[in-house]
A and B are shown apart, each in its own frame.
Chain A
Amino acid sequence: MCEVLVKIGQPVPDFELAVYDPVKNDFGKITLQELKSQKKWTLLFFYPADFTFV
């Protein structure tokens, strides 16, 4: 389907995502590098589109 850059058991290349933060009610950005430096686990949960059903 497309060029996949991640493999199980391998380091994930750094990425950046624009985010909406519901707690702060504000916009921002997050990178994997920041999450790693905060010693956090990251769970990415992809879904097709807002305003849909499941």
Chain B
Amino acid sequence: MGVEVITVSTDTPYTHLAWRKHEKELHDVKYLMGADSTGNVSRMFGVYDPSSGLSLRGTFLINPEGVLLNTECNYYNLGRNIDEILRKFKANIYMARKSHEVCPSKWKDEGDKTLTPSAQMVGQVHEALVD
């Protein structure tokens, strides 16, 4: 299953090139670096801060049909946790294949406990989780 990761800021593509070449931390980066110089895409996703002209730390997962499945937005001073982003991404891919199952909060990866909601489970989620 293919995924395109695109990092996006309101910088230009030229700045992206210069930053990637200059900053040694980025030498292994292979993601497309999106340049939203007008802020239009950031506005569309609600992460544009007009007081600074910058984008907040928003993460958006879109499935191959173009449907938005997950969002997260942090203010400037809080970094994102890649483990949690990966967890949500893996869960969404898993549930796209197994649409009758749901992933509980502690689900981390394929093979972990999922739930299959049913009339019998109403009021019995604790029992289903420890089962």
Which residues of A are at the interface with B, using a C-beta cutoff of 8 A? 1-13, 15, 17-23, 25, 27, 30, 32, 35-36, 38-51, 54
Contact between A8 and B3, CB atoms less than 8 A apart: no
**Given A4-B46, A17-B6, A41-B3; 19 other pairs, CB 8 A cutoff:** A1-B48, A4-B45, A5-B44, A11-B65, A11-B67, A12-B67, A15-B41, A18-B35, A19-B6, A38-B2, A40-B2, A40-B64, A42-B6, A42-B60, A43-B61, A45-B7, A50-B11, A50-B15, A54-B77
Contact between B9 and A46, CB atoms less than 8 A apart: yes
Q: Mark B16-30, 1 if CB is under 8 A from A, else 0.
A: 111110010000011
Cross-interface CB contact of A46 among B23, B30, B47, B61, cutoff 8 Å: B47
Contact between B57 and A46, CB atoms less than 8 A apart: yes
Q: In whole Å, how far is A24's beta carbon from the nearest beta carbon of chain B?
A: 10
Contact between A45 and B2, CB atoms less than 8 A apart: no
Which residues of B are at the interface with A, using a C-beta cutoff of 8 A? 1-20, 23, 29-37, 40-50, 52, 54-71, 76-79, 85, 89, 93
Q: In whole Å, how far is B78's beta carbon from the nearest beta carbon of chain A?
A: 8
| Cβ-closest chain A residue relative to B27 | A22
Q: In whole Å, how far is B106's beta carbon from the nearest beta carbon of chain A?
A: 22
Contact between B93 and A41, CB atoms less than 8 A apart: yes
Q: Which residues of A contact B71 (CB under 8 A)?
A: 6, 8
Q: Can you name 23 A-B pairs with beta carbons within 8 Å?
A: A6-B44, A6-B68, A12-B62, A17-B35, A18-B12, A18-B35, A19-B34, A20-B16, A22-B30, A22-B31, A30-B4, A40-B4, A42-B60, A43-B60, A44-B6, A44-B58, A45-B5, A46-B8, A46-B59, A47-B55, A48-B55, A48-B57, A49-B54
